[in-house]
Chain A
Amino acid sequence: MKLSWFHLMPYTDLPDDFKERHPSVWVDIDSRLFDPAKAHHMYNDFMDELEFAAELGFDGICVNEHHSNGYGMMPSPNLIAASLARRTRDAALVVMGNSLALYNPPVRVAEEFAMLDCISGGRLVAGFPVGTPMDTCYAYGQNPSQLRERYHEAHDLVLRCWTEPDTFVWNGRFNKLRYVNPWPRPLQKPHPPIWIPGGGSIETWQWCAQMDYVYAYLSYFGYKAGQATMDGFWHEMERLGKDRNPFRAGFLQFVGVAETRAEALDLYRESAEYFFNRCLHVDARWAGPPGYASEATLRARVSSQVAQAAGRASAGAAFGAPSFEEIVDQGYVVIGSPDEVAEKLREVAVSLNVGQLMLLLQYGNMKKELCFYNTELFAKRVMPQLRGLFEGEWENRWWPKPLPRDERALVRG
């Protein structure tokens, strides 16, 4: 299986009384809480952490896109990925991803992803999320009734950019482009692997099946809450006649490793509570712009347990205020010794049937030293126990195919 190291880049200095004094971590978060001099150190620490994970042998390093968000300081994940492309050698660059409807024209995504693929020697995973309501409809003013239509048109345009050798005309519903001819083109052919981060929408599952893309369920609520969604996903794959190749699916899991479970409980309490209380303090006003969820999804949410659970998990973001004990009990964070964590993650991977596992080993206000400790213990004593799972049995058709190592550029310094 593939193990990737995911960074959200949370602002680590939200005040203790953030929840009491501020309505939301997202959209209208008070900009006076943002100290650029502190952010200078945060960004550099975070990029150190991503580079450290790559050095220690994680298969991929993951970045993502958020806007006006106190727990996600990457309006442009491509900027971070560009730096990582130079500072890492072998890890896949999993950009999860670019919210297609927000780029005008979406050709920009085709161009920047192609740049990243060329600079990194073919290590890019291209993630195409629709984006949350907060990011797309509120912070970026996109019309919720048109968001998915624009997303799908942008997707088709980006794919054509990557696969059409001639300059072409794009006379779309939302994009009118007389000359489309991006330069550069991606190194991976026909294009980098495409992963779709999504919630529990049946239409997204069907689309991933149709397009043969990875479906990545990026929940913050761990494997227990994720089970119903992933069961629903695999049930739909079966219904559509697709195989159970676990590499079709990605899943995100918070982890805290220490020498002993007691030590882990002690070490990760503060940062987990910081994340699940301060970072997920999202005002319910932003939960549901009309049209963001399709009518089919709304109907399913009422009538199906699967979609209900997924709906709860995503709605939970608006209301979550759990204690550390609940965070651990509910499986939001997998906590323990290296052996315990390895056993649990193996169980999770098999039970959810997920081959592309993404780990959050930095969360909340976790300091760099603790993050390094968590990352190193994971790499040295958990990862070896998970290596080989699903390999041989299933082909991972959704992993980057870089240039051979000896054909890649030697980066100076």
Chain B
Amino acid sequence: MSGPSERSVRVNSEPCRVWEKGTGEPLGFLAGLGGLVEWTPFLDSLAQTRRVIVPSLPGFPGSGPSHRLIDTLPDWIAATLDLLEASGLDGCELVGHSVGGMLAAEVAAFSRSTVKRLVLIAPFGLFDGAEPVADVWARRVTEIPELYSTQPAEFAAARLTPPKDLSPEAVVEWQIVQTRASEAAARLLWPMGELGLAKRLHRITCPTLLVWGAEDRIVPASYAKRFASLIGGAAEIRTVAGAGHALDFDAPEALSKCVHGAQGR
């Protein structure tokens, strides 16, 4: 698996990393909780048939602490629009996962021309007290892997453990990047990931696919129906068996097939 090309764009005058790989029609991807510290098999699978463009949101790996320039939901939406435009994704198909899914839904609702087709993978944005979204920030460290993944040991090794060859200083920086990503998501989502999206989903009229891991322990898979019922356009639901919230990790091939399927391929 070869890596992507990398460039940098500016959002609020601060750098954000943009990865790109593949050829064909552009397909944007906004990552979920924790962001992306390395190119993944899921992205590589998407890049087999598409020009995949992966911009990093402020505060997530690949950017600095620029999430601290962002205070409100309108600030986040403006930053996401700036990021998509600077990355060459304006008017393109957009895939958003988890926290990235919430922002993808917000920009699609606010700016209909920005998103041609929308794929939301286990997005945040709704909250039902009868079946609440989990509080990912009120967890003992030992509970984290199984909260995210149906393969907790592998997930912990791949996503929650610094690479073995790092110097002690680099390990500290690795931890800072992890914490910063968590903080950036918290800056948007705290305390429950609900900022009124339900009132705006009717404005999403582009074709939309909702993909959920059947065993999502963070945003329950039943939320797919809540989203589908509120979205203004045609919304299709796919569920990936055996996958949790981190379904890009748990089931990269199945997820990739779902995303491709949504584009009629």
**Which size bracket describes the interface of B in this complex?**
20 to 34
Hey, what's the 0/1 contact readout for B174-217 against A, CB within 8 Å counting as 1?
A: 01100110111111001100000000000000000000000000
B179 and A298 form a contact (CB under 8 A): yes
- Is B226 part of the contact surface with A, judged by Cβ < 8 Å? no
Hey, what's the 0/1 contact readout for A250-289 against B, CB within 8 Å counting as 1?
A: 0000000000000000000000000000000001111001
Contact partners of A138 in chain B: CB under 8 A: 138
In the complex, A284 Cα to B137 Cα: how many Å?
A: 11
- Is A290 part of the contact surface with B, judged by Cβ < 8 Å? yes
A145 and B176 form a contact (CB under 8 A): no
A295 and B180 form a contact (CB under 8 A): yes
Q: Closest residue of chain B to A293, judged by CB?
A: B179
A145 and B67 form a contact (CB under 8 A): yes
B183 and A173 form a contact (CB under 8 A): no
B172 and A290 form a contact (CB under 8 A): no
Residue among A146, A290, A295, A303 with max Cβ neighbours from chain B (10 Å): A290
A298 and B186 form a contact (CB under 8 A): no
Shortest C-beta distance, B34 to chain A (Å), equals: 11
A143 and B138 form a contact (CB under 8 A): no
How many residues of A are counted as interface, with CB atoms below 8 angstroms from the partner's CB atoms? 22
- Is A21 part of the contact surface with B, judged by Cβ < 8 Å? no
Shortest C-beta distance, A117 to chain B (Å), equals: 33
Contact partners of B138 in chain A: CB under 8 A: 138, 285-286, 289
Contact partners of B186 in chain A: CB under 8 A: 143-145, 289-291
- Is A56 part of the contact surface with B, judged by Cβ < 8 Å? no
Contact partners of B68 in chain A: CB under 8 A: 145, 149
Hey, what's the 0/1 contact readout for A208-246 against B, CB within 8 Å counting as 1?
A: 000000000000000000000000000000000000000
Contact partners of A145 in chain B: CB under 8 A: 67-68, 183-184, 186-187, 190
- Is A141 part of the contact surface with B, judged by Cβ < 8 Å? yes
A290 and B140 form a contact (CB under 8 A): no
Contact partners of B265 in chain A: CB under 8 A: none
In the complex, A174 Cα to B72 Cα: how many Å?
A: 10
Contact partners of A143 in chain B: CB under 8 A: 186-187, 190-191
- Is B164 part of the contact surface with A, judged by Cβ < 8 Å? no
Q: Closest residue of chain B to A286, judged by CB?
A: B138
B139 and A290 form a contact (CB under 8 A): no
Shortest C-beta distance, A26 to chain B (Å), equals: 12
B176 and A299 form a contact (CB under 8 A): yes
Q: Which of B71, B141, B172, B187 contacts A291 (CB 8 A)?
A: B187
A284 and B140 form a contact (CB under 8 A): yes
Hey, what's the 0/1 contact readout for A119-130 against B, CB within 8 Å counting as 1?
A: 000000000000
For window 5-31 of A, CB contacts with B under 8 Å fall at: none
Q: Given known contacts A145-B190, A285-B138, is B176 in contact with A298 (CB within 8 Å)?
A: yes
In the complex, A145 Cα to B187 Cα: how many Å?
A: 5
- Is A389 part of the contact surface with B, judged by Cβ < 8 Å? no
- Is A302 part of the contact surface with B, judged by Cβ < 8 Å? yes
Contact partners of B65 in chain A: CB under 8 A: 295
Q: Closest residue of chain A to B136, judged by CB?
A: A290
B139 and A146 form a contact (CB under 8 A): no
Shortest C-beta distance, A198 to chain B (Å), equals: 20
Contact partners of B182 in chain A: CB under 8 A: 290-291
B191 and A146 form a contact (CB under 8 A): no
Q: Given known contacts A145-B68, A291-B183, A295-B65, is B140 in contact with A285 (CB within 8 Å)?
A: yes
Query: Beyond A145-B187, A290-B182, A291-B182: 19 further Cβ-contacts under 8 Å?
Result: A137-B190, A138-B138, A143-B190, A144-B137, A144-B183, A144-B186, A145-B67, A145-B184, A284-B140, A289-B186, A290-B185, A290-B186, A291-B183, A291-B186, A295-B179, A295-B180, A298-B175, A298-B179, A299-B176
Please give the residue numbers on chain B whose beta carbons come within 8 Å of chain A beta carbons, in ascending order.
65, 67-68, 71, 137-141, 172, 175-176, 179-180, 182-187, 190-191
8 contacts between A and B (CB under 8 A): A137-B190, A145-B190, A146-B187, A149-B68, A284-B140, A291-B187, A295-B179, A302-B172
